[in-house]
């Protein structure tokens, strides 16, 4: 089977039409909803994207807060070019080509582009985008007026895989194309659009260990935690709907027939069920008795139960509890200035810088870099990193002190600067001026004598 035949085969394996949102307690099944449509020659996202959006992102406050907090910091970065000098990162600089990322679509901003990247990466494991123009050209052909970035919904994209050896499981397997199948009005999907790898930005910050090229949503390992948190929230709601009291058992109702029994039960439900009837006095006839059944929220230690699940969600998102603002992060010493600062640094250094460092090379597919340079992120103007700027200033002060020490010791300025950049002592070899500080003069050596003027006074020369 040739490459075009394989692409046609991938086109033929359409997704099932959406049949409505499943109950959220079945969301775990949505985790495996698309496995059957994945083959050695194609890869799609493994989860049901719409279920994750409706059941987790829109249906759970902690998940929404976690994605939103990541998004708030992630979307504040900007992009610049960066060269490497002697294998080390150089200065950042700009060019007109970066205008596409600064204004990705009409009235769009870099922050909005990054916000979409974070949403899709969290919910589907990957973000896809290409370029289009007003003439209808797509990908590499989009060079005309109105050139802009167009997001491709991740559950409508298929990665086409091929290998020169003919075995898609072999080590020479690679992605040879992206098939985009957008939905059309009236149901179904349009004819697939084939794009080459050099025409698509594919951002997948968390690799899927059972796939070769696609990413994985960080929500997938904690689906059951989301289900448990939603169930706990529903339990709390039901508690208040039932009058903010635990379950009751009423026995000895004086009824001579089922009809009379049902009437009495309906009357009690109408007068005592629900938050609007909370704390009303319950009146019973002779022989009837009411007993509380079960535990109230305090006895269940509800805050601890739900708080532990929230912390697990925060951990999966890579956000310290105190940064996310959940209950377990707002108590004890976690809010002390030093501890909160350490949590903030952990969040930035381990989560956000990792995401930025993966997003920049992915977006480089959509722009043309200058010779010898690559796309990189610029986080210097992010308010969340102001304390990092203070640390950087202290580091620069230490570098300046070290530079002064090297110059006083007689090393050439260029060699001293190169040592501070690389940390390699070998760059100082053979780069000494032969001059030393006065503290290094031999004992007994006199100070140089200045020439005297004709009037007996020391010359200013």
Question: Do both 64 and 167 map to the same domain?
Answer: yes
- 454 occurs within a structural domain: no
Residues 389-396, mean pLDDT to the nearest whole number:
71
Q: Rounded to whole angstroms, how far apart are CA atoms 119 and 218?
A: 11
Other CB atoms closer than 10 Å to residue 394's CB: what's the count? 10
With contact defined as beta carbons under 8 Å apart, do 161 and 212 qualify? yes
Query: Looking at the predicted structure, is the pLDDT value of residue 328 above 50?
Result: yes
- 185 occurs within a structural domain: yes
Question: Do both 44 and 176 map to the same domain?
Answer: yes
Number of structural domains the chain divides into = 3
User: Which residues lie across from 378 on neighbouring strands?
Assistant: 78
Query: Looking at the predicted structure, is the pLDDT value of residue 292 above 70?
Result: no
Question: Do both 257 and 139 map to the same domain?
Answer: no
Work out the pLDDT band at 232, boundaries 50, 70, 90. Answer: confident
- 338 occurs within a structural domain: yes
Query: Looking at the predicted structure, is the pLDDT value of residue 330 above 80?
Result: no
Of residues 345 and 266, the one with the higher pLDDT is 345
Last residue of a domain, one of 381, 413, 430: 381
What is the rounded average pLDDT for all residues in the chain? 79
Backbone angles phi, psi at 103, to 5 degrees: -135, 75
Residue 367's closest CA among 74, 134, 89, 143?
143
The domain containing residue 267 runs over which residues? 247-293
Question: Do both 349 and 392 map to the same domain?
Answer: no
Backbone angles phi, psi at 161, to 5 degrees: -115, 140
Strand 373-378's sheet: what is its strand order? 88-93, 78-85, 373-378
Give per-residue pLDDT as tens, 26-38.
455 555 444 445 6
- 456 occurs within a structural domain: no
Query: Looking at the predicted structure, is the pLDDT value of residue 295 above 60?
Result: no
pLDDT in the model for residue 455: 55
Q: Of the segments 8-22, 220-234, 366-380, which one has the largest average pLDDT value?
A: 366-380
Question: Do both 372 and 388 map to the same domain?
Answer: no
- 457 occurs within a structural domain: no
Question: Do both 224 and 268 map to the same domain?
Answer: no
Residues 96-124, mean pLDDT to the nearest whole number:
95
For 140-144, 169-173, 363-367, 406-410, which range has the lowest pLDDT when averaged over its residues?
406-410
Give per-residue pLDDT as tens, 340-388.
888 888 999 999 999 999 999 999 999 999 998 999 999 888 888 876 6
pLDDT in the model for residue 256: 63
Question: Do both 28 and 141 map to the same domain?
Answer: yes
Question: Do both 359 and 255 map to the same domain?
Answer: no
Question: Do both 25 and 58 map to the same domain?
Answer: yes
pLDDT in the model for residue 19: 35
User: Which stretch of DSSP H or E encloses residue 102?
Assistant: helix 99-102
- 453 occurs within a structural domain: no
Q: Rounded to whole angstroms, how far apart are CA atoms 162 and 166?
A: 7
DSSP state, residue 103 = S
387 contacts: CB under 8 Å, gap ≥ 6: 341, 344, 345
pLDDT in the model for residue 168: 87
Q: Of the segments 178-182, 281-285, 418-422, which one has the largest average pLDDT value?
A: 178-182
Question: Do both 340 and 277 map to the same domain?
Answer: no
39 contacts: CB under 8 Å, gap ≥ 6: 13
In 275-332, the DSSP E strands lie at 289-293
- 102 occurs within a structural domain: yes
Residues 48-73, mean pLDDT to the nearest whole number:
92
Question: Do both 283 and 430 map to the same domain?
Answer: no
With contact defined as beta carbons under 8 Å apart, do 10 and 42 qualify? yes
For 81-95, 279-293, 398-412, which range has the lowest pLDDT when averaged over its residues?
279-293
Question: Do both 200 and 150 map to the same domain?
Answer: yes
pLDDT in the model for residue 21: 41
pLDDT in the model for residue 453: 53
- 183 occurs within a structural domain: yes
With contact defined as beta carbons under 8 Å apart, do 15 and 181 qualify? yes
With contact defined as beta carbons under 8 Å apart, do 78 and 184 qualify? no
Indicate the SS3 state at residue 29.
helix
Residue 328's closest CA among 312, 316, 342, 317?
312
For 32-36, 38-42, 239-243, which range has the lowest pLDDT when averaged over its residues?
32-36
Of residues 134 and 281, the one with the higher pLDDT is 134
For 20-29, 135-144, 423-432, which range has the lowest pLDDT when averaged over its residues?
20-29
Q: Rounded to whole angstroms, how far apart are CA atoms 148 and 134?
A: 9
**Distances 30 to 35, 124, 355 between C-alpha atoms, Å:** 10, 12, 26
Query: Looking at the predicted structure, is the pLDDT value of residue 143 above 50?
Result: yes
Q: Rounded to whole angstroms, how far apart are CA atoms 207 and 212?
A: 8
Other CB atoms closer than 10 Å to residue 270's CB: what's the count? 10
**Distances 397 to 30, 89, 403, 415, 437 between C-alpha atoms, Å:** 54, 20, 10, 19, 22
């Amino acid at each position: 089977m040739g490459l075009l035949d394989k692409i046609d085969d991938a086109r033929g394996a359409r997704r099932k039409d959406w049949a409505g949102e499943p109950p959220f307690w079945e969301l775990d099944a949505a985790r495996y909803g698309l496995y059957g449509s994945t083959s050695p020659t194609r890869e799609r996202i493994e989860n049901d994207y719409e279920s994750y959006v409706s059941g987790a992102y829109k249906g759970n406050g902690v998940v929404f807060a976690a994605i939103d907090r990541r998004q708030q910091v992630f979307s504040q970065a900007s992009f610049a070019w960066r060269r490497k000098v002697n294998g080390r990162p150089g200065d950042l600089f700009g060019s007109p080509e970066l205008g596409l990322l600064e204004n990705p679509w009409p009235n769009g901003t870099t922050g909005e582009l990054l916000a979409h990247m974070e949403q899709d990466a969290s919910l589907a494991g990957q973000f896809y985008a290409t370029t289009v123009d007003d003439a209808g050209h797509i990908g590499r052909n989009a060079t005309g007026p109105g050139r802009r970035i167009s997001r491709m919904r991740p559950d409508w994209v298929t990665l086409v895989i091929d290998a020169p050896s003919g075995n898609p499981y072999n080590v020479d397997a690679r992605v040879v194309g992206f098939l985009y199948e957008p939905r059309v009005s009236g149901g179904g999907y349009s004819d697939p659009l084939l794009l080459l790898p050099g025409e698509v930005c594919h951002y997948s910050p968390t690799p899927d260990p059972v796939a070769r090229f696609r990413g994985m949503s960080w929500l997938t390992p904690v689906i059951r935690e989301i289900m448990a948190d939603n169930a706990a929230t529903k339990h709390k709601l039901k508690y208040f709907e039932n009058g903010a009291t635990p379950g009751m058992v009423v026995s000895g109702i004086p009824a001579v027939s089922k009809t009379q029994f049902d009437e009495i039960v309906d009357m009690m439900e109408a007068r005592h069920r629900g938050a609007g009837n909370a704390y009303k006095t319950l009146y019973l006839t002779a022989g009837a008795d009411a007993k509380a059944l079960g535990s109230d929220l305090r006895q269940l230690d509800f805050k601890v139960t739900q708080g532990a699940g929230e912390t697990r969600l925060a951990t999966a998102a890579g956000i310290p509890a105190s940064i996310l603002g959940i209950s377990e992060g707002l108590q004890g010493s976690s809010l002390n200035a030093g501890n909160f600062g350490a949590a903030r640094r952990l969040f930035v250094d381990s989560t956000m810088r990792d995401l930025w460092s993966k997003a920049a090379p992915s977006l480089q597919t959509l722009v043309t870099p200058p010779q010898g340079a690559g796309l990189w992120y610029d986080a210097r103007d992010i308010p969340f990193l102001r304390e990092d700027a203070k640390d950087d200033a202290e580091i620069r002060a230490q570098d300046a002190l070290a530079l002064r020490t090297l110059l006083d010791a007689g090393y050439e300025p260029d060699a001293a600067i190169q040592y501070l950049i690389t940390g390699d002592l070998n760059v100082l070899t053979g780069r000494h001026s032969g001059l030393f500080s006065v503290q290094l003069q031999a004992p007994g050596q006199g100070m140089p004598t200045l020439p005297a003027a004709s009037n007996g006074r020391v010359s200013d020369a």
